[in-house]
């Protein structure tokens, strides 16, 4: 059994950002930290998803990344002679630049010395901290825990999906990693969703199968530079949020603040251009019913139109449930962890759900606010975690 100071469950953007902060500024060694993730290397799930949809530039500005230095990504672009990989007034980085920079940061902290490829099965509190059980039978004892699991492993399916029955193989969700990896898209193709992931997918398929791609959405395009107002990054909006003691009201504030199902102007203009060129057709209508036929799917729209597709790709986001509910609900019940009406953690300013059990990402949003799931949220969580770690160790000293 391994004994650690810190265990981070989740090796995506949130877990890796926290790991970088702790190892660079927290005065801990690689042997004190373990990052548990089912993938072989850091950010593998992120790279796969962004590559799958054909993302070329991030929506977020260049100051949002894994490093403790806000201008580290801009410096990296200059050092590698790729300032042209920073686009527009916000210097949005290309996906290639962002991924290479992230890889260089993880190599800087010798990630492989702290990485553990595995899947958590249970978490039990004891006198020494937390006892982690893994599906392969291994066990890890850690004084502190950070839950940094993402929500993209919980695909949200539309109600009509179950109408397909045995023809579901022609309709796959973007977030279903296993099924999408085996999926062979054939035209004509329908992409379902009105947000930025759906838009990227439609652009990707539109280049490959011009004139044979439909982007189907229930609402008009919602065009915003970011998925929430930048005021949520600082006191402009957060001060009111933090004063709100009702977690139900905080949840309402988060819902209103998020530009759910939105896309930025650049991607919107690219979509409109491809639509004008006849490479993509956009449809603003709900789907009434579907039926499998001839190796494809017949789709009936609420507008009265009907269309046959060989392939349907769902870019409809994730459910609003807790991540890793298979084991996390058991921990909540046994350890009597406090949850708000929405089911998400009630935590303190140090992001503690219980003594020495910290949370990040979606799990921290009732404390961090609407940006909690984003890269900027990952940095906020890492900063609080680092400060907590330094404070605790100064007291012990």
Q: Give the pLDDT score at 397.
A: 60
Q: Token pair for residue 289?
A: 């019913």
As a CATH number, domain 2-153+320-396 is 3.50.50.60
- Give the DSSP letter string of 72-118: HHHHHHHHTT-GGGEETTTTEEBHHHHHHHHHHHHHHTTGGGTEEE-
335, 345 in Cβ contact below 8 A? no
Domain ranges within the chain, ordered by starting residue: 2-153+320-396, 159-224+260-314
Q: Token pair for residue 278?
A: 């006849």
Q: What is the chain's pLDDT, residue by residue, as a tens digit (397 residues)? A: 899 999 999 999 999 999 999 999 999 999 999 999 999 999 999 999 999 999 999 999 999 999 999 999 999 999 999 999 999 999 999 999 999 999 999 999 999 999 999 999 999 999 999 999 999 999 999 999 999 999 888 999 999 999 998 788 899 999 999 999 899 999 999 999 999 999 999 999 999 999 999 999 999 999 999 999 999 999 999 999 999 999 999 999 999 999 999 999 999 999 999 999 999 999 999 999 999 988 899 999 998 899 999 999 999 999 988 988 789 999 999 999 999 999 999 999 999 999 999 999 999 999 999 999 999 999 999 999 999 999 998 787 6
Separation of CA 133 from chain center = 25
Q: Give the pLDDT score at 393.
A: 85
Write the class of the CATH domain 159-224+260-314.
Answer: alpha beta
Angle formed at CA 278 by CA 273 and CA 281, multiple of 5 degrees: 85
Looking at the whole model, is its pTM more than 0.85?
yes
3-class DSSP state of 159:
helix
Q: Give the closest residue to 319 by CA, choosing from 120, 157, 160.
A: 157
34, 140 in Cβ contact below 8 A? yes
| 2-153+320-396 and 159-224+260-314: identical CATH topology | yes
Angle formed at CA 178 by CA 174 and CA 179, multiple of 5 degrees: 60
**C-alpha span between 212 and 195 (Å, rounded):** 20
Q: Give the closest residue to 299 by CA, choosing from 160, 205, 165, 155.
A: 160
359, 351 in Cβ contact below 8 A? yes
**C-alpha span between 118 and 27 (Å, rounded):** 26
């Amino acid at each position: 059994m391994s004994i650690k100071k810190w265990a981070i469950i989740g090796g995506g953007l949130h877990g890796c950002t926290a790991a970088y902060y702790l190892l660079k500024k927290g005065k801990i060694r690689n042997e004190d930290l373990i990052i548990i993730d089912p993938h072989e290397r850091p950010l593998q799930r992120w790279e796969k998803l962004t590559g799958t949809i054909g993302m070329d530039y991030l929506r977020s500005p260049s100051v949002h990344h894994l490093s403790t230095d806000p201008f580290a990504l801009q410096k990296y672009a200059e050092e590698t002679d790729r300032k042209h990989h920073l686009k527009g007034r916000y210097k949005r980085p290309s996906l290639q630049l962002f991924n290479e920079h992230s890889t260089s940061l993880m190599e800087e902290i010798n990630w492989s010395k702290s990485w553990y490829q595995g899947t958590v099965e249970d978490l039990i509190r004891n006198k020494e901290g937390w006892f982690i059980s893994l599906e392969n039978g291994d066990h890890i004892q850690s004084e502190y825990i950070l839950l940094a699991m993402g929500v993209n492993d919980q695909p949200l399916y539309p109600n009509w999906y179950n109408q397909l029955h045995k023809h579901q193989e022609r309709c796959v969700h973007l977030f279903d990693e296993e099924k999408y990896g085996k999926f062979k898209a054939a035209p004509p193709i329908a992409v379902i969703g009105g947000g930025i992931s759906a838009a990227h997918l439609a652009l990707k398929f539109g280049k490959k199968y011009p004139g044979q791609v439909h982007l189907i959405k229930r609402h008009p395009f919602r065009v915003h530079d970011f998925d929430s107002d930048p005021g949520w990054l600082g006191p402009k909006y957060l001060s009111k949020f933090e004063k709100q003691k009702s977690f139900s009201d905080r949840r309402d504030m988060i819902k209103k603040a998020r530009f759910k199902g939105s896309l930025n102007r650049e991607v919107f203009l690219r979509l409109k251009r491809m639509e004008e060129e006849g490479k993509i057709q956009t449809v603003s209508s709900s789907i009434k019913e579907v039926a499998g036929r001839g190796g494809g799917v017949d789709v009936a729209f609420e507008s009265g139109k009907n269309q046959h597709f060989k392939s349907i790709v769902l870019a409809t986001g994730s459910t609003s449930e807790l991540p890793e509910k298979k084991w996390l609900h058991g921990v909540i019940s046994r350890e009597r962890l406090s949850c708000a009406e929405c089911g998400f953690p009630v935590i303190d300013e140090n992001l503690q759900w219980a003594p020495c059990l910290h949370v990040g990402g979606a799990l921290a949003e009732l404390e961090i606010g609407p940006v909690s799931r984003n890269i900027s949220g990952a940095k906020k969580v890492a900063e609080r975690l680092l400060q907590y770690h330094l404070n605790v160790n100064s007291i012990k000293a």
